[in-house]
Amino acid sequence: MKTIPHEKIAASRKIKIGILNVLMRLSFLLILALLTGMIGYILIRGLPHVTWSLLSQKPSLLHDTDGILPNILNTIYIILITLIFVLPLGVGTAIYLNEYATKEKIVNVIEFATETLAGIPSIIYGLAGMLIFVQFFNLKTSILAGALTLVIMTLPTIIRTTQESLKTVPDSYREGSLALGAGKWHMIRTVVLPSSIDGIMTGCILSIGRIVGESAALLFTAGMANNILNTGQAFLPGNAGSTLTVALYMYAKERGEFDIAFAIAAILLILTLIINMSAKAVAGGMRGRA
Amino acid sequence: MDILQAKDRGVNSRDSSAAVHLSAKFHTFEGRKSNKAREKAMTGVFLICGLISIAFVIAISGFLIISGLPAIGQIGFSEFMFGTKWASTAATPSYGILPFILTSIYGTAGAILIAVPVGLLCAVYLAKFAGRNVAVVIRSSVELLAGIPSVVYGLVGMIVIVPFVRKAFSLPDGANLFSAILVLSVMVLPTVISQSETALLAVPEEYEEASLSLGATWTETVFKVSVPAAKSGIASAVVLGVGRAIGEAMAVMMVSGNVANMPGLFRSVRFLTTAVASEMSYSSGLQKQALFSIALILFVFIMIITLLLNFVFKKKEKAS
């Protein structure tokens, strides 16, 4: 940063520069305060209430227990079911766009559709999911309907990250494989996909982040029940269940039990941190190799 | 990877029989008729995968239009859009969503007015002034802020901002448009910061060097050269922020008071998003259909933003 000596600058310029510098640093400090304040506040209010009995029980009026075990399980089920459906679809779309598509028009339309999906707010997903999966396909309010709604929502993430990593696979890999006589699908399966596994992983982690944080799209699709379901039940229509975020909303807004709400908030915050860090670690590994 | 390594081994080894063996294996592989059929089938499978996101967009639009239009037709378009009174459960119900539309517009505008100057200045600081380590730490914290679920923002807003607004302005209730704007602006900040920082970092160094060599100071250079050069990226950051603010439901629901008033800064209000969410669970008949119509209007707003991002800003980027 080589600049001309300060004393040679006219006073009016100095004032302007000074104001800009002050404003900039103020905004920066504001953001800093916001970050530390918010993260600190959530952890301080929430962590003391994160106890083993909270994590390992289900809420029951009869036994007078509070617990978020059902919500933890439901979150895991929804993540699993969503990924099972969205991974093949998203990776398949990315492969089509990157390896197969020859007509620019189709590519443009698909990419526009993907960006549209990425821009739709989650409350609209919730409504569309309710109309399509809960009512039209008659899955009722269920974990399955919620997960299928999230499949549409997370599809753009998987497509984008997979596509980005497919682009980093050198053409020489493809040519080498084809030159040895491999068919196109054989080449993709054995050469292209294994080399872009980190991009797919990043997509998965980012999608998990979105699923963990989602609430509006699940309110009317996965429901608000707090029962413990086993893995088999989670895949069946009609079994409703609320995730951690929906439970937080219910505890805070409907019941005014803020201690549990903050405990869930602290858990969600830590989960978000872990998800961000692992996404970065995987993406960093990708960049390091490319 | 196995094949690649095998290929490398085959090429590198002096004994060419390995390579011959490999290619022979592939040759027979490709020669089979079933294999050709499989190639064709896989091409079809991938094409279907590719088309499925288009199908999803069509399905969502279709379902929203089919469920949303009847109520608009029944209520009347102008009464629905410009009616100032929403009383869906009254004896003689009236379905005017102008309060929701205006609240969404005011709320989004307010959030953008706060978040864009602060976020942009912070992005400028991070991209052009801050030390490398500071920038890295703040960048990941901003990403954390972006990843925090909206209900958590709502919770903090409920417990911290709403009481604060009530005390600061000595109001009977702090759950109003102003609190919602504050929460929304915090939620929009990460988008604005990270998008505009990316745009600022992409400005070619030559521009800045040229400005410096003409005698401008670094601060002047950044604000008069780098920021204007990144303006299309910054503009798309703003539009993305608008999209996020207008679509936010849960956090706003928890802090805005959720009463169908015409918007006022210190009045309890309802947004387009919260209007849909708050009555959905107990509504039926025309009331429920009207909620779908609200969702349709919101969807139209979002589509306009998406089109703007895709055709105005992308075109500009391509041109420049």
Q: What confidence tens digit (pLDDT) does each residue in A185-201 have?
A: 889 988 999 988 988 99
Shortest alpha-carbon distance between residue A57 and chain B (Å): 22
Q: Which has more pLDDT, B39 or A44?
A: A44
Closest partner residue to A268 (CB to CB) among B7, B38, B149 is: B149
Q: Mutating which of A7, A102, A127 best tests the B interface, going by the most B Cβ atoms within 10 A?
A: A127
Shortest alpha-carbon distance between residue B92 and chain A (Å): 26
Does any CB of chain A come closer than 8 Å to the CB of residue B201? no
Q: Contact B96/B230 with Cβ under 8 angstroms?
A: no
pLDDT of residue A286: 62
Give the HSE-up count for residue A196: Cα atoms under 13 Å, Cβ half-sphere: 32
Residue A216, pLDDT > 60, answer: yes
pLDDT of residue B196: 94
Q: Which residue matches tokens 């505008």?
A: B109
Q: How far is CA B44 from CA A107, A111, A185, in A?
A: 15, 19, 11
Q: From CA B192, how far away is CA B118, in angstroms rounded?
A: 9
Does any CB of chain A come closer than 8 Å to the CB of residue B214? no
Q: Answer yes or no: is B57 within a domain.
A: no
Shortest alpha-carbon distance between residue B254 and chain A (Å): 7
Chain A neighbors of B303, CB-CB under 8 A: 116
Q: From CA A1, how far away is CA A3, in angstroms rounded?
A: 6
Same domain for B130 and B212?
yes
- Say yes or no for a CB contact (<8 Å) between A213 and B150: yes
Q: What is the CATH number of the domain that holds B121?
A: 1.10.3720.10
pLDDT of residue A74: 92
pLDDT of residue B24: 44
Q: Answer yes or no: is B70 within a domain.
A: no
pLDDT of residue A22: 92
The amino acid occupying position A212 is V
Q: How many CB pairs below 8 A link A and B?
A: 282
B233: containing domain: 98-319
Residue of A nearest to B19 (CA): A180
Q: Contact B262/B99 with Cβ under 8 angstroms?
A: yes
Q: Please state which of the ranges A166-180, A223-237, B227-241 shows the lowest mean pLDDT.
A: A223-237
Shortest alpha-carbon distance between residue B201 and chain A (Å): 16
B86-87 and B94-95: which strand pairing? antiparallel
Closest partner residue to A182 (CB to CB) among B26, B152, B243 is: B26
pLDDT of residue A253: 85
Q: From CA B300, how far away is CA B278, in angstroms rounded?
A: 20
pLDDT of residue A287: 60
Closest partner residue to B49 (CB to CB) among A93, A106, A194 is: A93
E strands of chain B, at which residues? 86-87, 94-95
Q: What is the mean pLDDT of residues A253-264?
A: 89
pLDDT of residue A207: 94
Q: Mutating which of A100, A180, A221 best tests the B interface, going by the most B Cβ atoms within 10 A?
A: A180
Same domain for B272 and B147?
yes
- Say yes or no for a CB contact (<8 Å) between B218 and A3: yes
pLDDT of residue B8: 43
- Say yes or no for a CB contact (<8 Å) between B57 and A262: no
Q: From CA A90, how far away is CA A85, in angstroms rounded?
A: 9
Give the HSE-up count for residue A129: Cα atoms under 13 Å, Cβ half-sphere: 29
Q: What is the pTM of this model?
A: 0.86
pLDDT of residue B32: 57
Q: What is the mean pLDDT of residues A164-178?
A: 90
Does any CB of chain A come closer than 8 Å to the CB of residue B77? no
Residues in contact with B111: Cβ distance below 8 Å, sequence separation at least 6, in sequence order: B181, B184, B185, B187, B188, B241, B245
- Say yes or no for a CB contact (<8 Å) between B53 and A113: yes
Residues in chain B, pLDDT under 70: 1-33, 314-320
Q: Answer yes or no: is B73 within a domain.
A: no
Instruction: Write out residues 127-156 of B within 8 Å (CB-CB) of A.
Output: 129-130, 138, 140-145, 147-152, 154-156
pLDDT of residue A103: 86
- Say yes or no for a CB contact (<8 Å) between A17 and B220: yes
Does any CB of chain A come closer than 8 Å to the CB of residue B98? no
DSSP A6: G
Shortest alpha-carbon distance between residue A180 and chain B (Å): 5
Instruction: Write out residues 244-303 of B within 8 Å (CB-CB) of A.
Output: 246-250, 253-254, 273, 276-277, 280-281, 292, 295, 298-299, 302-303
pLDDT of residue B318: 55
Closest partner residue to B152 (CB to CB) among A20, A42, A182 is: A42
Instruction: Write out residues 165-194 of B within 8 Å (CB-CB) of A.
Output: 186, 189, 193
The amino acid occupying position B111 is A
Q: Answer yes or no: is B56 within a domain.
A: no
Instruction: Report how many domains make up chain B.
Output: 2
- Say yes or no for a CB contact (<8 Å) between B125 and A28: yes
Q: Answer yes or no: is B238 within a domain.
A: yes
pLDDT of residue A41: 94
Token readout for B118 is: 């602060």
Distance of CA B100 to the CA centre of its chain: 20
pLDDT of residue A3: 54
In degrees and rounded to multiples of 5, residue B86 shows phi and psi of: -115, 110
Q: Please state which of the ranges A161-165, A229-233, B167-171, B300-304 shows the lowest mean pLDDT.
A: A229-233
Q: Specify the CATH architecture of the domain A53-289.
A: Orthogonal Bundle (1.10)
Q: Answer yes or no: is B37 within a domain.
A: no
- Say yes or no for a CB contact (<8 Å) between A123 and B129: no
Same domain for B273 and B134?
yes
Q: Which residue matches tokens 């802020």?
A: B145
